[in-house]
């Protein structure tokens, strides 16, 4: 029998799955609460973006994006260290957070969990930029608050079987 | 418990430190931790040193964790040493593949120190009893 995620698009694109994935990763790995917010991400001179690709029944990406303040706070909580700049350890930490978010999100849909692989995280730093995908199947974009800082997580699906 | 030698294989140095911290929180003291950033590095470490336990990620560049495990078994490196996979991949199929490749345990990321303790301590107790 051929699997079809398209028939269960409403389950795959359920926005509550993203919120519960973020909550789970932050609770288990950082021992901290993290909740959705209406706040916009503040403009900061430096932003960090981590991308983990999906391949298989669903193709697309999980994208974590934040300014330096959120990245330093998250990396600090995850590692128990203090950071004053986005160095290689912070990039590594944010890449791993994105990796776990991607895994937790796809794990919430059984057919997706078994038939969709994850890429190794890629991390980009620099001034303000956005990742754009032409005509995605669906896109989930949520903003979260963590210790008075703000970050955003986006699930972009550009192919669904 | 006598001194435990543990190899942690993960391309993320942050994750290696988190796994080490979880093991120490689980009471694995005294413990010597060896680290490898890939399956290839892991095999190199094991060709010169013995360990009591191996924890490995699956998704890694150059040689993934499952291939590392297969190579480990085919080269008779670390015979009888328990291997626990720690990975974001959580489907039944991934677990089955890991067990077939020779893993004794499986921990899904994200994880708690308690989960690491539950999976790892029985394996180490068995190793100590030999």
Residue contact B14–A118, C-beta within 8 A:
no
Distance CA B112, CA B115 (A): 5
Return the residue of A nearest to B97 by Cα.
Answer: A114
Residue B29 · residue B18 · CB < 8 Å: no
Location of structure tokens 């979880």:
B22
- pLDDT recorded at residue B94: 87
Average of pLDDT values for A66-88? 97
Distance CA A60, CA A113 (A): 14
Tokens standing for residue A92: 């590594």
Distance CA A18, CA B83 (A): 31
Residues in chain A: 161
Distance CA A71, CA A83 (A): 9
- pLDDT recorded at residue A6: 77
For chains A and B, what is the number of CB pairs under 8 angstroms? 62
Residues in chain B: 130
Location of structure tokens 């999976």:
B119
DSSP B48-108: H---SEEEE-S--SSS-HHHHHHHHHHTTTTTT--EEEEES--SHHHHHHHHHHT-SEEEE
**Is pLDDT above 60 for A2?**
no
Tokens standing for residue A1: 């029998």
Distance CA A58, CA A66 (A): 25
**Is pLDDT above 50 for A1?**
no
CA distance B115 to chain A (A): 10
CA distance B130 to chain A (A): 34
Residue contact B14–A78, C-beta within 8 A:
yes
Distance CA B29, CA B6 (A): 11
The mean of the pLDDT values for chain B is: 92
Location of structure tokens 């911290």:
B21
Distance CA B60, CA B65 (A): 7
CA distance B87 to chain A (A): 9
Find, among B25, B31, B29, the residue nearest to B6 by Cα: B31
Q: Which of B10, B39, B91, B97 to probe the A interface (max A CBs under 10 A)?
A: B91
Specify the pTM. 0.94
Q: Can you tell me whether residue A18 is helix, strand or coil?
A: helix
Average of pLDDT values for B5-30? 95
Residues of A in contact with B87 (CB under 8 A): 103
Distance CA A106, CA A21 (A): 9
Average of pLDDT values for B59-73? 93
Distance CA B113, CA B9 (A): 18
B35: how many CB neighbours lie within 10 A of its CB?
17
Distance CA A47, CA A125 (A): 6
For A105-142, write each residue's pLDDT tens digit: 999 988 888 889 999 999 999 876 677 777 788 999 99
Find, among A49, A35, A62, A22, the residue nearest to A149 by Cα: A35
Average of pLDDT values for A61-67? 96
- Residue A121: φ, ψ to 5°: -60, 140
Say what percent of chain B tops pLDDT 70. Answer: 97
């Amino acid at each position: 029998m051929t699997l079809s995620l398209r028939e269960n698009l409403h389950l795959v694109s359920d926005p509550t799955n993203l919120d519960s994935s973020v909550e789970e990763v932050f609770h288990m790995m950082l021992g901290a609460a993290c909740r959705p917010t209406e706040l916009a991400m503040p403009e900061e001179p430096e932003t960090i973006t981590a991308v983990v690709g999906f391949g298989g029944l669903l193709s697309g990406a999980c994208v974590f994006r934040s300014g330096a303040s959120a990245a330093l706070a998250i990396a600090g909580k995850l590692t128990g260290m203090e950071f004053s700049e986005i160095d290689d350890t912070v990039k590594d930490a944010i890449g791993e957070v994105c990796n776990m978010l991607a895994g937790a999100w796809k794990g919430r849909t059984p057919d997706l969990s078994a038939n969709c692989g994850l890429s190794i995280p890629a991390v980009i730093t620099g001034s303000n930029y956005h990742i754009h995908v032409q005509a995605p199947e669906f896109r989930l974009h949520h903003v979260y608050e963590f210790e008075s800082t703000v970050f955003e997580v986006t699930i972009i699906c550009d192919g669904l079987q | 418990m006598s001194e435990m030698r543990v190899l942690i294989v993960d391309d993320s140095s942050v994750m290696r430190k988190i796994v080490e911290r979880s093991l120490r929180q689980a009471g694995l003291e005294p413990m010597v931790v060896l680290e490898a950033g890939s399956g290839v590095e892991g095999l190199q470490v094991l060709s010169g040193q013995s360990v009591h336990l191996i924890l490995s990620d699956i998704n890694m560049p150059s040689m993934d964790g499952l291939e590392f495990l297969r190579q480990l078994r085919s080269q008779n490196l670390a015979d009888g040493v328990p291997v626990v996979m720690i990975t974001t991949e959580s489907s039944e199929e991934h677990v089955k593949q890991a067990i077939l490749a020779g893993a004794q345990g499986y921990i899904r990321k994200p994880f708690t120190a308690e989960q690491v303790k539950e999976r790892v301590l029985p394996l180490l107790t068995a190793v100590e009893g030999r």
